[in-house]
Every structure is written in C-alpha cells, then in structure tokens.
Amino acid sequence: LEDPIRETGPRLAELLKDAVRGDGPLYRLVAHALKQAIDRGEIALGTVLPPERALARSLAVSRATVVAAYDRLKAEGWLESRQGSGTWVRHPDDTSAGGVDAVSTSRLFLANDGRGAPADPTADVSSDSDVIELSVAAVTGTSVIGDAVESLTRSEIDALTAHHGYVPQGLRALRQRVAEHYAAAGLATQADQVIITTGAHQALSLVARQVLHPGDSVLVESPTFPGALDVFRRFGARPIPLPVDEHGARTDIVAELVDRASPAMIYVAPHFHNPTGAVMPLERRHELGTIAAQSDTPVVEDLALADVILEPIDLPPPIAAVCPEATIHTIGSTAKLFWAGLRIGWLRTPEPWATRMLATKTVADLGSPLLSQLIAVRLLDRMSDVQQWRRAQLRPRRDQMCSLLTELLPDWTFRCPAGGLSLWVTLPRGNAEEFADVALRHGVAIVPGPALSVDEGNRRSLRLVYAHSETDIEEGIRRLATAWEAYISTTASRSSARLLV
Ligand SMILES: Cc1ncc(COP(=O)(O)O)c(C=O)c1O
C-alpha cells in the first residue's frame, strides 16, 4: 500500500447517494452500492476508504450503518483493514482469504460435500439426505457411458496404453471428432486448433490465464454459469454485467459497455444459455463479433450446452464462424449431453493462439485423462443417437416441470426453453435468496439468481434444473409450492406489521 488513493467522505457519498434511497436495511444498501462502484471501476482496487465516521457524516447516516456495511464487505472479502492503515478495497479472490466462490457457496453441490465414508466407490457422491436437488445442471451418465465403455476392445486399450500417456493436446482421434463436429455446425476447424481439456471449465481457465490480468474487466452475461464468474475472479478480473433477455446477451449495449469498461474479454453462451436456455439469433452474433473485431476484444463463446437440443431448431453457427475476423475462443464439453464425470471438454482456438494455449495446458496438468478421451471418441461417434435418446429423456421432464409450475405456482413466470437443462423463473415478489433458504427447509435445493449474477442482481429470479427424475421433479415442485406459501405468508405478515407501526 505505497501511496494508495485515498477516497474522501464527500466524494464517496456522491457516488453512493442514490443507493441509500432504496428499500431494505440501510447498511446492505450502502454495502451493495460500494460493491457496484468497485465493480464498475469507479473505486479502484487498493483505494483507502474514508473512516466510518467521515463517510457516515457525508451520507447523513449513523456511524453504525457504515460500520455494518464495511463489516459485511470485509466478511465477503471486498475490504480489508489494519490498525493504522485504514480500510482499503481489494478483490475478494486475490488472496487465499477467498471463500466467496459461486460454485462452492451456492448450494450447487449440496450432496457432494465429501462427508461420506468412501468404502463404497459411490459413497462420497450419493446423497443420504432427503433434500431434492433441483440445483445441479447436470445429467446422469447411465446408460450411455456403460455402453461406450463396453464397446471398447482390449486391443484398443492396449494400443493406447502402449504409449507413455502424456498427451497435453489430447488424443488426435478426439480432436478430429471435435473438429468435424464444429465443421458440421458451420465452423471450419483443423484438429490442431483443438485442445482437449479437463471439462469446459478448464478450457475457460486456459483462456483466462492467457488473456486476463489482475484488475482487468470482463464483460459477462448476467445471469451466467457461476463457474465462469469464479474463474474470472480467481484471475483477479472484475466481471461487468451484460444483461440477458429471451434472445441471450443484449448486444445492443455491448458497444457502449466495451467503450466504457474496455474489457479484456467478453464471455457469452450463445447456444442454450445457462440458466435461461436462450439461443442468440444470427444478427446478435454478427453484432457481437463485429464489435469484438473492431475493438480487438477476445470473446469466449461457451457451447457447453449446445448439444442438448430438445426441440427441432435451426441453430445459428457459432460466433467464430459468423465473424472469423474476431478473436473467438470456442469451448465445448461432453458433460451436458453425455456425463460430467468424464471431465472431458475442449478449446477450439484461432490458429495463431494454438501454440500458446497448448503451452498453458501443458503447464496446467500435462494433459487430460486418456481413457476418458477414448470413451469420448466413442460417444462423439454416437452423438446423434445419444441426442435422440437424451431428448426422449429430458423433454418429458422439462414439460412436466413447466406444467407443474403453471398448475401449482401460477404467478411465477418462465419461458420453456428449446434446449439446455434449466428453467429461469421469476418470482412475482420477494427475494430469491430468502426463498431458497425457505425452500431448503422444505427439502428442495435451488439456486437463487444472485448466485448466478455478476452484481448479486436478479434477486427475484431462480434456476430450476429439470434434468432430474420424474419423481424428484413432481415432489420437488410440490415442496416448492408449499415453501412458497409459507414464504409469502411470513413476508405478508412482516409487511402488514410494518404498515401497522
Ligand atoms: C455454460 C457452462 N459452461 C461450462 C460448464 C462446465 O462444464 P464442464 O463440466 O465441461 O467443465 C458448465 C457446467 O455447468 C456450464 O453450464
């Protein structure tokens, strides 16, 4: 902290003055507004904030309010203080203090807390709780994986294992399949542009490691896949929210956001966006690619859910095909159509980047598991059969969830997506985080909007995953309906109590 920027009470009060006029506890409003100002870059990392008393005076609030706001941000890792040095702004993920990762803190992996005794190989992954998880956007692998494993021959395995086994770029046969898959979707690809990764998640990390530096901004759809937010924050970058509507990212405001924030990267999921299921139309792909090319901003297009297609639909080509002049890294996965447990994904990168990305992958782990890759080759060979089978499995579940919601929770709003694994639901009132707690007490785990959002936004929305058994969906939505009744009756009694006093 040599020569830090020192924020004054009056200037900070000017930045926060609108926020303190909102609804809710004052300290939360101040904390939230501070966080947003940091996110927008209006308060730089390392800035020393005014003492609590000075900010309280400038904002005309009590000192206790500012103390509580600072405390909350300290607990979340956004502020740090030391006797004699004051309170300064830091990034929550730029030291080991952390603890705010979206994936690990958002009920996504409720059952997978590693508590089971692993004598039985499945003991640490099966839940012994009777909580129904509508929170994890993933499919089971039975029976596709068993079929693929059974189809492997001893001589194939012997041929593979005759090699020493370090193949950082990944099996050529698999890279070839991925290249053919993209070529069929309109994106001409050479096998050497493809690196096999440990899930799409690692592909995202590899790009982030190449492109991002601490303090950089990244334009990210909000809501989005929470793992992406975790990755960007871990690299010290600041996600800037890019709003999403029923057609995906709002490309009409991308130019303005790029102008304002000069992001080091843009991250979008144009095919069956997680969590909304939106498909970005061709014109928007064009608009986004053109802005990226003109501003020289790399884009990551995440196609992890692209193959989970539930309705006949004309999917536009990947953005990399629509705008070849832009730098677009395309990532994909076997996780959502086949099984996440294979941990096989890939990165398709523009030719000039391939060597650097491969070096990064090599440093990361010397290569992804080859037996999983061999299975993935089999699966990609059977892709259209599996897609058909998966559609027959998931479509009734999606429809069941949609009709139960319409019947039991008629004032909740959502769109029925043509692909992907989840519904994005908006509550008519209330707060999704509070409701998620109530739902958990009624035995259902769901992910509230803020866990999937850049700025803790989307407070009235939540994600419901329909990739679960019919029994779980039936019981899960019934429990949600009961939880909702309990929730609104308590909030109604709280607000009428407020009216009375
Ligand atoms: C949009 C998106 N990208 C990437 C991933 C991670 O995929 P993988 O399991 O291949 O790492 C997910 C998983 O939920 C996702 O939804």
Three-state secondary structure of 21-64: HCCCCHHHHHHHHHHHHHHCCCCCCCCEECCHHHHHHHHCCCHH
Interval between CA 124 and ligand 1 midpoint (Å)? 21
The two structure tokens encoding residue 212? 């991002």
With beta carbons less than 8 A apart as the criterion, state whether 193 and 357 touch.
no
Residue 317's φ and ψ, nearest 5 degrees, are -65, 160
- Using alpha carbons, select from 417, 344, 450, 451 the residue that is nearest to residue 108: 451
Distance (Å) from CA 107 to ligand 1 centroid: 16
Q: CA Rg, the chain, in Å?
A: 24
Residue 141 sits at the vertex; the CA angle it makes with 136 and 145, to the nearest 5 degrees, is 155
CA of 334, closest atom in ligand 1: 10
In Å, what is the CA distance from 385 to each residue of 306, 374, 421? Answer: 16, 18, 19
The contacts found for 73-81 with CB under 8 angstroms, 24 or more apart, are: 73/31, 73/34, 73/35, 76/35, 76/100, 78/34, 78/35, 78/38, 79/49
Ligand 1 closest atom vs CA 345:
10
pTM: predicted TM-score of the whole model, two decimal places: 0.79
The DSSP line for 394-419 is: HHHHHHHHHHHHHHH-TT-B----SB
The answer to whether residues 264 and 232 touch, using CB atoms and an 8 Å cutoff, is no
- What is the atom index within ligand 1 of the atom nearest the CA of 224? 1
Distance (Å) from CA 136 to ligand 1 centroid: 11
**C-beta separation of 310 from 276 below 8 A:** no
- Ligand 1 pocket, Cβ-based, cut-off 6 angstroms: 137, 199-201, 225, 227, 269, 274, 302, 304-305, 333, 335, 340, 345
Q: How far apart are CA 63 and CA 341, in angstroms?
A: 51
Q: What confidence score (pLDDT) does residue 260 get?
A: 94
CA of 213 to the centre of ligand 1 (A): 23
Pairing, β 447-448 against β 422-426: unpaired
Q: How far is the centre of ligand 1, averaged over its atoms, from the C-alpha of 262 (Å)?
A: 26
* 401 in Cβ contact with 477 (< 8 Å): yes
Atom of ligand 1 nearest to the CA of 137: 14
Report the residue among 202, 333, 368, 373 best suited for mutation to probe ligand 1: largest number of ligand atoms under 8 A from its CB: 333
The pLDDT of residue 322 is 98
CA-based diameter of the chain, in Å?
Answer: 80
pLDDT confidence of residue 76: 81
pLDDT at site 298: 98
Ligand 1 atom at shortest distance from the alpha carbon of 333: 10
Nearest ligand 1 atom to the CA of 344 is 10
Q: How far is CA 491 from CA 104, 432, 445, 496, 500, in A?
A: 28, 12, 20, 9, 14
Q: Give 490's contacts (C-beta < 8 A, 6+ positions apart).
A: none
- Tokens 């319409």 found at: 406
The one-letter code for the residue type at 180 is E
Distance 223 CA to ligand 1 centre (A): 14
Q: Choose one of 109, 336, 365 to mutate for the ligand 1 pocket test, by most ligand atoms within 8 angstroms of C-beta.
A: 336
Task: Calculate how far, in angstroms, residue 334's C-alpha sits from the geometric centre of ligand 1.
Answer: 9
Would you call 345 helix, strand, or coil by DSSP? strand
Q: How far is the CA of 229 from the centre of ligand 1 (A)?
A: 12
The stretches of 278-353 forming alpha helices (DSSP H) are 282-295, 319-322
pLDDT at 107: 53
The rounded Å distance from CA 228 to ligand 1 centre is 8
Q: How far is the CA of 333 from the centre of ligand 1 (A)?
A: 7
Residue whose CA is at the smallest distance from ligand 1 atom 7:
200
Q: Are 462 and 435 spatial neighbours (Cβ–Cβ below 8 Å)?
A: yes
Task: Please tell me the predicted confidence (pLDDT) of residue 501.
Answer: 41
Helices 470-500 & 383-408, crossing angle to 10 degrees?
40
**Which residue's C-alpha comes closest to atom 3 of ligand 1?**
304
**Cα distance from N-terminal residue to C-terminal residue, the chain:** 48
Structure tokens at 273: 């966006």
- Quick one: pLDDT at residue 499? 44
Q: Which two tokens stand for residue 320?
A: 């990399």
Separation of 43 CA from ligand 1 center, angstroms? Answer: 32
Burial (Cβ within 10 Å: 0-12, 13-18, ≥19) of residue 433:
middle
Q: Please give the pLDDT value at position 35.
A: 87
Amino acid at 274: N
CA dist 120 → 117, 124, 139, 240 (Å): 8, 8, 22, 44
Minimal-distance CA residue to ligand 1 atom 14 = 137
CA of 303 to the centre of ligand 1 (A): 9
Does residue 369 have a cis bond before it (omega within 30 degrees)?
A: no
CB 399 within 8 A of CB 417: no
Determine the Cα–Cα distance for residues 313 and 404; give it in Å rounded to an integer.
25
Q: Are 317 and 185 in contact (CB under 8 A)?
A: yes
**CA–CA separation, 321 vs 305, rounded Å?**
18
| Residue 204 Cα: closest atom of ligand 1 | 4
Asked whether 231 and 364 are in contact (CB, 8 A), the reply is: no
For a mutational test of ligand 1's pocket, the pick from 106, 133, 135, 201, i.e. the residue with the most ligand atoms closer than 8 A to its C-beta, is 201
Q: Ligand 1, closest atom to CA 198?
A: 11
Segments of the chain with pLDDT less than 50: 1, 95-99, 110-119, 126, 497-501
Mutate to test the pocket of ligand 1, among 305, 329, 338, 343 (most ligand atoms within 8 A of CB): 305
Centroid of ligand 1 to alpha carbon of 88 (angstroms) = 34
Distance CA 357, CA 210 (A): 7
What pLDDT is attached to residue 403? 98
